[in-house]
Amino acid sequence: MTEIKVGIIAAPSFPMQLSEKLSADLPSTLNRALEQDITWNFQCVENPLIGSAEDVNKSLDFAKSIQDEHQWDYAIVVTDLPIVEGKKVVVGNLDEPMGTGLVSIPALGFIRVKQKLKQCLLYFAETVYLYHNEQDKTKRNLNLSLFTRIKPEHTILDEKQENDMLTEDEQEEGDQTSHSKTTTKFILSPLIISWILLLAGMIRANQPWKEIPNFKKIISLSFATATYLTIFSTPWQLSIEYSNLRFIFMTTLAIGGMVLWIMYAHSLWEYPTTMTTRTYRTVYNITTVFTLLIIIVLSYLILFALLMISVALFVPNDLYNMSTSNEGTRTIAQFLYLTWFVTSLGFLAGALGASVENEQKIRAMTYSYRQRARYEEAKRWEASNYYSSDDTNNQSQSHN
């Protein structure tokens, strides 16, 4: 029975989690699609050095080196970095002769990411298998259906371009088999929808709901401030007098002010540098703002739920009627309006001076911070390889 080893080189955190969950289901699905009995062996390897967003195409070359190291037949990179070329959003790259592929998770959007990634991995593995076994590709049974049209674009390197990609040793030996002449890029379209999917996918990759524990300090201080305010009668009367528009304005001010404060206090905004292009920098900042906005809104809702208990305990109905212009039994609407009022006031007044629980984790939530970390690791990795190769050459010359 034929055995094929496929390596999945995943970025840390979300890409690695998805890859590990999918690896067990891929072999049976592939055999059904190919109508063959093949032993597929999928192995997941976590590696942060799969390239930066600006140089993401080099990930295929890096994947080839890891593929040779582990003696895999094929290698597929799964990254949480976006791929943008011009104004086009790229879902992934595929080099069939080399047996390497690349999938960008952000391009898969916000929902059904797991199913979409599974489709990509299966499609890439089937395509490379059909290519290397010289079978008719029109018999392919797996498709890429991502709710939008994906357009494959083939890039053919001429002999000069291919020769420039080779090392000096390969050029001297005439080894032209180690690099492919054709690569395929999968472009997401239409244009507007593709950018919406990209931003939504980047927010999804950040997993903002998992960052709520890092905001415990902010929620606790806001709760203490708002609970203190509930014992005074002035907020009771104001909650009756204020209009819905004013309540919405207070909520917007509280949430927006918190977002701006966290961005400023923890330096989450990406400024122009030589490390990132303008396109990626803009995408990173938009993603950071919306990711933080989701976290703050969830924290606000948690605070609202906690204060409902506080208002019910500390604001008796008789005292409420005596201290306000309300007559009769306090209604549920008045109860909710009072909770809404103290939530916005406590969130704005009590939490603006607070900091998050773990600043390092909050910064790691942003793409720009992860990019800088990858640049530094990549430089250390290249330096270690450079010096190790120098040592090997020196030992070889000394031996000769």
Q: Tell which CATH classification among 3.40.50, 3.30.1490, 3.40.390, 3.40.1350 matches the domain 3-200.
A: 3.40.390
Q: What does each C-alpha distance from 223 to 6, 49, 219, 301 come to in angstroms?
A: 51, 42, 6, 12
Nearest to 193 by CA among 224, 149, 156: 149
Contact between 72 and 36 under an 8 Å Cβ cutoff? The reply is no
Give the separation between CA 368 and CA 217, rounded to whole angstroms.
25
Average pLDDT score over residue span 262-269:
84
Q: Which residue has the higher pLDDT, 342 or 275?
A: 342
CA distance 256 to 249: 10
Q: Where are the beta strands (DSSP E) in 354-393?
A: none
CB 296 within 8 A of CB 257: no
Among 44-53, 93-102, 349-358, 368-377, the range with the most confident prediction by mean pLDDT is 93-102
What does residue 230 show for φ and ψ, rounded to 5 degrees? -70, -15
Predicted TM-score of the model (pTM):
0.80
Do the Cβ atoms of 148 and 116 come closer than 8 Å?
Answer: no
Q: How confident is the model at residue 200 (pLDDT cuts 50, 70, 90)?
A: very high
DSSP 53: S
CA–CA gap between residue 104 and residue 117 (Å, rounded): 9
pLDDT digits (tens, 9 = 90+) for 92-136: 899 888 899 999 999 998 888 999 999 999 999 988 888 888 665
Q: What is the CA radius of gyration of the chain?
A: 28
384/391 Cα distance (integer angstroms)? 11
Give the span between the Cα atoms of 113 and 370, in whole angstroms.
21
- Which whole number is the average pLDDT over 14-42? 87
Domain locations along the chain: 3-200, 207-365
pLDDT band of residue 24 (cuts 50, 70, 90) is confident
Q: Which of 27-31, 130-134, 200-204, 300-304 has the lowest mean pLDDT?
A: 130-134
What distance in Å separates the CA atoms of residue 327 and residue 314, rounded to the nearest whole number? Answer: 19
Read off the tokens for 107: 């391009």
